[in-house]
Structure formats: C-alpha cells, structure tokens
C-alpha cells in the first residue's frame, strides 16, 4: 500500500505552511495591540494608572499652621506654641515584628494590646498612636524603622504663667484649637488656616518626594492683651492668700485701667494649670469673675445715690431720717446694724445705711431708678466678649414692688458679675462716663457713654473717700501715699430661694481718688472664718493689690506717706447686710 500523500515517510505530521504564517500574524497583532494600549494609557489617557499609583503611594497631608502668640501689654509671652511630633500609622502598610511592637508600646507608654489594635486595624487608612510627643521621644520611635508608622509635625501650646493666667487665657485642645478663655474668644485670629501638600511615600510610609503644594498654611496672628503680667501676678497672689486665710470657697479679683477700661488683671482661686492636659474639675475651670453672678450688696449704694443726685432729689448734705435703724416697707422690715436717728446722704454711704439707701431709692419713680442702674451697665454684657460671660439680672421696673425697689438700693434682688461691677465704677472715675471693657491693648483714647453729670460723679467720689477713713466701713482699704475711694459690700447668699447665713464679701475702689488711675474689685465667696464683712475680708486684699500696682506704674502720690489713719476699736463700722 502507498503512504498517504500528506504524511512523510519518517512518521512526522506535515502542517500546512499557511498555519504558521497565521500564528505569526496573530502574535504580532496582539503585540501591536498591547503596544498601542500601553501608549494610550501612559501617554494619552494616563488618568487610570495615575489614580492607581496615587492610591498606593500618593498622599495629601495637612500642614499645620503655627498658632499666634499671646503677649501681655509689654510683649511678655503668655501663650506660645512649641513644635512636637505625633506618631501615626497606616494599618494596610504596617509591617512590624513582635519585638518592634513591644518596643513601640514601651516608648509610647501604651499596652501591647492597644498598640496591636491600632496598628493592624486594616479597616482604617490612618490612625494616631500618640499625639504631641517631645522630639527626642519621637526620634526613638522613628529609629525603630517600622513600615507604615510615621511622624507628623504639630504644635503644642505652652503657658509660662501656668495657673496665674489660666482663667483669662483658657487653653487649646490637642488639635490646637481654643477651648476656653482668650484662646476660644480669639480663635479666628490666633488659629490661622492649615495648608495641604501632595506627597509620594514609599512602602514603609516615608515621604520620598514632595509633588505639589496644594495650599500654603496661613500662620495665626499674634495678639497683645491689655493685661499687665506683673499686676496679674500681684492680683493672683493676693486673692489666693485671701481665700485661704478666710477659708472661703472661692475668690475673684479684677483690675481695670480707670481711664481706658483696659483689663490689667483678672484672677480667681482655686485655679488650675493649663499645661497639664489632665482636665481639672469643671468648677475649678470656671472664670468666676465673669461667669458667676452674685448679689452685690452695699456696693450698689453709690449708684442709688448718684441717680438721685442727678435727678435733684437729694444733695450730699441732705439729712435722711433713718428711723433709728428700723424701717418698714410693705410689711417687711429693713434694718441697720448701727442705728441712727438721722444721717446725711454722705453718711449713708460712709456708714452703709440700708434704711437711708432705701428711702433715697423710694424717693424716685421705679423707671428713674431702673434707668440709672441700666445706664451704669447693670443687666447687660460688659462688651468684653469673654466666653460664657453672664450679663447679670436687672428686672423690669414694671414688676417691682416697693420692698423690691427698696432692697435693690443696697444690692439685694439684683445680680452682677465682678467684671461688670468693676466696670460700673468707671463712671465715678471718669466724671460720669462709663467705659467699655476691653481685653486688648489700646493705643488710642476710648470713648465711653455718659451716665451721670461730672458734678454728681465727683460728689459720689468724695463720699466714697469717707468709707475708708475712721468712721467708715473699710479703714483697712487705706494705702500709704494715696487717697482711696471705695465701697464695701456684704450680702447674704441665696439657697433655695431663701437668704441663709452665708455671705459674699466684696470691695470696689478707685485710686488715686484725686484723679483715679486704677479700679480694683475683690469678691470673696462664702468666707467661713470669724470675719465675713467686706471691710474685713475684701478691703485688705484691695489695699495690697492697689498699692503695689500704683507703685509699679509709678503713679504720683496724692497724699502724704503717713496718711493712713487707724480707727479706735469703738469706731469700727461694719456695713449692713
């Protein structure tokens, strides 16, 4: 039999020549297609590959803005931001040995379990391990060389004054945003705006190339406060001493520039250290001088008398029948601690007569009396814009009963905060003009609001000088070399709508009385020692702070250096409560 024509005699299958040529054409076509696709993806339409590359190695990172510095009026730093490092991880990129995890946990002060939970939680692309580490500690973390663990530059706020300035300045969060005080009130100026940058990172999470700056950070602005750091320290030291000496619950002090309304000092005790990130009790963090209200007691009497003087109802030498210390209004009795048959208007201030103040208040129409108090700033914000400021309470005169109008004359039935009370006394320092409160340093004169006539303000100031002399309620407020004008206050505290035998002792004063430069207001909450009157508790603190501050500012003396007169024991007068 003859072999088939398409089979070689050697036993090998003979393929048609066209098949090899077809295979070659197909291979070349596929190669050409891949080449065209590669050119298309990499040169013409490269978005897809770019997105995939960015997803694996590209990142957009935030660039923190440096927070502005806070200084006092003389440029002394009160709040500054220092660079720190935060440790973060990208869990999908983490590659760490057990020993590296143990070392990382030790350096960060964390448990192994907590570190593992954060490092290997692949459902998240970004997680902080520890915020705001000192550079040397962060450097040790970096030297571990753990893939997927990186450092981020941030800033931490530092307060050189610590607890001395804490209630005024407040503090910032771990993200460097203001949380309390000036830091919160002026966040927009201090905080600036963070920037952003696109970078390429290697498989270990390290930045290998800066691709582009998307938005440059805008640094925060520095702020110069009206605060005087030296006077602030004096005020803080004195209020702390006063609270501890009289075993009080708390105390506050405010120092104002009488001419400009600038806040030179504000302090409270108890206080806290804002450099310690462990939050203290909320009550300790409260700025009691601004957020807490109290009944001002007899410190209101000058405003009662000033309103009546301005209306022509009385004169400084007008005699008031003080009813031997007992006066009945609407079935309720008003008492004087030191009964007198008659007192002049000036003596009503000097001896702090509740009966005298009540009769003067009732000589006015409710609307007239209300208007005088309202124009002096009571029941309204001070304008400081301090976070959480309480505006106080001055009820509508249409709701007053005669007994309420009477008791309001000596500070019952009205509530104020200490900053508000201190501001009100600017009317007696500036010939009847009420100054706005400012927390920022002022370089130009500040225009106020006219409340009383210049003559009325001067007459009341002269009456207030009698308060600190023998025969007045606050001889302990006297200062060597300076004339002082001021008023004591001692008010029962309210508990469940009833007055109880717990007190708020206060004193507000001006000096030098001939041309007032400073106003100091002191409030002591619930002194529990043997002494609780404003003249005993608050007046000495006023004297110590005012005297030191006047000397610090080189204010000229307006009295002889031996002007302090000590009263005889039988001349001591305690204001009525």
Task: Give catalytic residue positions.
Answer: 298
- Among 439, 505, 440, smallest CA distance to 477 is for 505
Q: Based on the number of CB atoms within 10 Å of its own CB, is 375 exposed (0-12), middle (13-18) or buried (19 or more)?
A: buried
* Count of C-beta atoms within a 10 Å radius of residue 420: 28
Whole-angstrom Cα distance, residue 349 to residue 343?
Answer: 10
The three-class DSSP label of residue 452 is coil
Tokens representing residue 496 in the block: 């469940």
What one-character DSSP code corresponds to residue 565? -
Q: Based on the number of CB atoms within 10 Å of its own CB, is 554 exposed (0-12), middle (13-18) or buried (19 or more)?
A: exposed
Strand partners for 267 = 253
Tokens representing residue 196 in the block: 């952003």
Helices (H), 468-576: 534-552
The CA-based angle 383-389-392, given to 5 degrees, is 90
Helix, strand, coil share (%) of the chain residues, nearest 5: 35, 25, 40
* Count of C-beta atoms within a 10 Å radius of residue 262: 22
Whole-angstrom Cα distance, residue 538 to residue 542?
Answer: 6
First vs last Cα of the chain: how many Å apart? Answer: 143
489 close to 411: Cβ distance less than 8 angstroms: yes
The three-class DSSP label of residue 354 is helix
For 77, phi and psi rounded to 5 degrees? -70, 130
Strand partners for 197 = 61, 213
Whole-angstrom Cα distance, residue 256 to residue 517?
Answer: 9
74 close to 228: Cβ distance less than 8 angstroms: yes
362 close to 405: Cβ distance less than 8 angstroms: yes
Whole-angstrom Cα distance, residue 503 to residue 470?
Answer: 24
């Amino acid at each position: 039999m003859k072999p088939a024509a398409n089979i070689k005699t050697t036993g090998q299958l003979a393929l048609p020549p066209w098949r090899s040529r077809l295979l070659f054409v197909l291979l070349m076509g596929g190669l050409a297609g891949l080449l065209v696709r590669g050119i298309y993806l990499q040169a013409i339409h490269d978005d897809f590959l770019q997105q995939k590359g960015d997803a694996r190695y590209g990142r957009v990172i935030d660039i923190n803005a440096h927070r502005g510095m806070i200084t006092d009026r003389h440029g002394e730093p009160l709040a500054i931001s220092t660079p720190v490092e935060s440790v973060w991880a990208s869990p999908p990129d983490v590659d760490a040995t057990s020993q590296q995890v143990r070392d990382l946990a030790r350096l960060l002060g964390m448990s192994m379990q907590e570190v593992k939970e954060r490092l290997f939680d692949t459902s998240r692309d970004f997680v902080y391990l520890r915020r705001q580490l000192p550079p040397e500690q962060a450097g040790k973390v970096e030297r571990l060389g753990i893939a997927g663990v990186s450092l981020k530059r941030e800033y931490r706020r530092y307060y050189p004054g610590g607890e001395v300035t804490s209630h005024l300045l407040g503090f910032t969060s771990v993200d460097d945003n203001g949380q309390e005080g000036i830091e919160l009130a002026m966040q927009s100026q201090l905080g600036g705006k963070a920037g952003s940058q696109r970078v390429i990172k290697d498989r270990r999470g390290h930045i290998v190339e800066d691709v582009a700056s998307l938005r440059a950070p805008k640094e925060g602005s520095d702020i110069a406060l009206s605060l005087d750091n030296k006077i602030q320290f004096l005020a803080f030291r004195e209020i702390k001493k006063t609270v501890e000496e009289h075993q009080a619950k708390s105390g506050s002090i405010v120092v104002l520039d009488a001419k400009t309304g600038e806040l030179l000092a504000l302090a409270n005790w108890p206080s806290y250290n804002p450099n310690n990130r462990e939050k203290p009790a909320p009550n300790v963090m409260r700025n009691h001088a601004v957020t807490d209200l109290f009944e001002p007691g007899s410190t209101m009497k000058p405003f009662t008398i000033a309103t009546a003087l301005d209306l022509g109802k009385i004169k400084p030498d007008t005699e008031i029948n003080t009813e031997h210390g007992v006066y009945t209004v609407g079935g309720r009795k008003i008492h004087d601690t030191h009964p007198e048959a008659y007192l002049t208007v000036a003596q009503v201030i000097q001896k702090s007569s509740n009966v005298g103040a009540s009769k003067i208040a009732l000589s006015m129409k409710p609307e007239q009396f209300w208007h005088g108090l309202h124009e002096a700033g009571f029941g309204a914000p001070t304008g400081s814009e301090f976070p959480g400021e309480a505006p106080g309470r001055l009820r509508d005169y249409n709701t007053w009963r005669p007994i309420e109008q009477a008791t309001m004359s000596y500070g019952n039935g009205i509530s104020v905060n200490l900053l508000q009370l201190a501001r009100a006394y600017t009317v007696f320092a500036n010939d009847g003009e009420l100054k706005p409160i400012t927390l920022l340093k002022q370089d130009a004169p500040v225009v106020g609001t006219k409340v009383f006539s210049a003559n009325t303000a001067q007459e009341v100031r002269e009456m207030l000088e009698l308060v600190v002399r023998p025969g007045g309620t606050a001889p302990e407020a006297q200062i060597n070399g300076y004339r002082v004008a001021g008023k004591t206050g001692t008010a029962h505290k309210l508990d469940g709508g009833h007055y109880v035998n717990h007190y708020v002792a206060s004193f507000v004063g001006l000096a030098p009385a001939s041309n007032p430069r400073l106003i100091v207001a002191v409030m002591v909450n619930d002194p529990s020692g043997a002494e609780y009157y404003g003249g005993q508790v608050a007046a000495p603190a006023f004297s110590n702070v005012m005297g030191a501050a006047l000397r610090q500012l080189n204010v000229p003396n307006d009295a002889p250096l031996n002007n302090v007169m000590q009263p005889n024991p039988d001349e001591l007068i305690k204001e009525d409560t």
